[in-house]
Amino acid sequence: MSVIGERLQPTIFERSRPGRGDGKIPHPPKDALERIPAGQRRSRPAALPELNEPEVVRHYVNLGQLNYAVDTGFYPLGSCTMKWNPKLNEWAARLPGFANLHPLAPDEVAQGTLQLLWELQEALAEIGGMRAVTLQPAAGAQGELTGILMVRAYHRSRGDLERTEVLVPDSSHGTNPATASMAGFRTVTVPSAADGGVDLDAFRAALGPRTAAVMITNPSTLGLFEARIGELLADVHAVGALAYMDGANLNAIMGHFKPGEAGFDVMHFNVHKTFSTPHGGGGPGAGPVGVGEKLLPFLPSPRVLREPDGRYRLERPGERPTSIGRMRSFVGNSGVLVRAYAYIRAHGGSGLREVSEDAVLAANYLKHRLAGTYDIPYDRPCKHEFVAAAQTIRKETGIRTLDIAKRLIDHGFHPPTIYFPLIVEEAMLIEPTETESLETLDAFADALIAIAAEAHATPELVHDAPHATPVRRLDEAAAARQPNLRWRPMAGLETPCPD
């Protein structure tokens, strides 16, 4: 039996009964064994589980039902944009012409896929107000690295070698400072102002001849739009630095704000967030990067190009020597890119604008419903997400945000992001997305309000939550630092994957 509670099932290995599963696996040709060098043959049979088909199916379906997913319920995980992923996208991504295309297929037989990728590059450039887009990066984080490597190449190409710093606000996602470090820069953290926006004075003080770039998330990770972005970018450019826009929150501003037009030199798109793709398990995603005029020569290669005669092709190796090179194999995570294309085409320009408006409306509605029960540290209209906090509840009852999040599971909801951004104590970052009904939003608000009442009336109920799950509170630090994920075989058998 696995580590935890009685409601978890035995592993598939423990269900195995000798002789139950074989018979359907075709036997290898007679001489197959002889062709394997003696030293590399197994001495004992592999410990593969032996079960009949219904047992296998039930095992995995039952395990799958232990998961919480967007397909089973509301998932307001701020910053992650866990919106509904239209099933139409799944159909499109599985079309055999896309799904079965060999990654090394010559351009002549890959015209359909190349056209889709080219049109996606164009659509993203239009949405972001950028000059051109690369689809290669595998996720937002790799998009950031791609963008900052291009910034580095730009300064170097001008012989400007003194720029060693990247400025990042203290509300930023952890990937921003990580990116700056990986690209060899020193991260300078700039504090936020009391209203949650960038502290303009602090930013100006930090800007200088050593600044290579600033990385800004707009709207910020507090869900607030940076209204003085024009002023800020003018200052950035005045000192010769470039401006990077973390586009993870693009789903709040489509059709209303184009980062390129506002003066950003480079941005990434988290297409698995903004344009939908299931990403709860950590991927795969895609993080295309858009650039303005200055960074155009440095885009990763190969780009997808359209010839004057309407044919599509991949850039040839060495065709653009200023390129920073390849960031990922082939053309990137093409299945995710097909989903993004399907989403964009299904909505169209006005539809995407409506997506953003609905996401903003849903977040403001929820914020309004929770005000009075939870602290709302930045009480001005938010974009697609907002911060609520349990500071007052903690003071009055000892119940913390973590307890509330765990109790939400008993009430049937996935908790929001908690303790992020780091600058708000007892923070919950709530992002409902545009895809949820009014009834769902109300049910979630009712649950959070009920939990606040429980915190006062029966604090132990909240403190010891969750009560209704197969496992209770896990030691999250141990789970992250000393994960024990390896099943050990029964005596006399060999593990299928030897150490």
The contact set with ligand PLP (CB under 6 A) reads 79, 139-141, 173, 175, 217, 221, 246, 248, 270, 285, 287
Provide, rounded to whole angstroms, the least separation between the CB of residue 487 and ligand PLP: 29
The two three-digit tokens of residue 171, written as one number: 């509300």
Residue with tokens 């300078």: 188
The two three-digit tokens of residue 27, written as one number: 């036997």
Provide, rounded to whole angstroms, the least separation between the CB of residue 172 and ligand PLP: 7
CB nearer ligand PLP, residue 49 or residue 287: 287
Q: Which residue is nearest to ligand PLP, using beta carbons? A: 140
CB nearer ligand PLP, residue 16 or residue 175: 175
CB nearer ligand PLP, residue 221 or residue 334: 221
Q: Taking a C-beta distance cutoff of 8 angstroms, is the pair 434, 366 a contact?
A: no
Q: Taking a C-beta distance cutoff of 8 angstroms, is the pair 152, 160 a contact?
A: no
Q: Angle at which helices 334-370 and 87-94 pack, to 10 degrees? A: 170
Provide, rounded to whole angstroms, the least separation between the CB of residue 431 and ligand PLP: 9
CB nearer ligand PLP, residue 172 or residue 211: 172
Provide, rounded to whole angstroms, the least separation between the CB of residue 139 and ligand PLP: 4
CB nearer ligand PLP, residue 221 or residue 401: 221
Provide, rounded to whole angstroms, the least separation between the CB of residue 274 and ligand PLP: 10
Provide, rounded to whole angstroms, the least separation between the CB of residue 251 and ligand PLP: 10
CB nearer ligand PLP, residue 175 or residue 323: 175
Provide, rounded to whole angstroms, the least separation between the CB of residue 494 and ligand PLP: 38
Provide, rounded to whole angstroms, the least separation between the CB of residue 89 and ligand PLP: 17
CB nearer ligand PLP, residue 49 or residue 421: 421
Provide, rounded to whole angstroms, the least separation between the CB of residue 204 and ligand PLP: 23
CB nearer ligand PLP, residue 285 or residue 302: 285
Residue with tokens 């009949």: 52
CB nearer ligand PLP, residue 140 or residue 259: 140
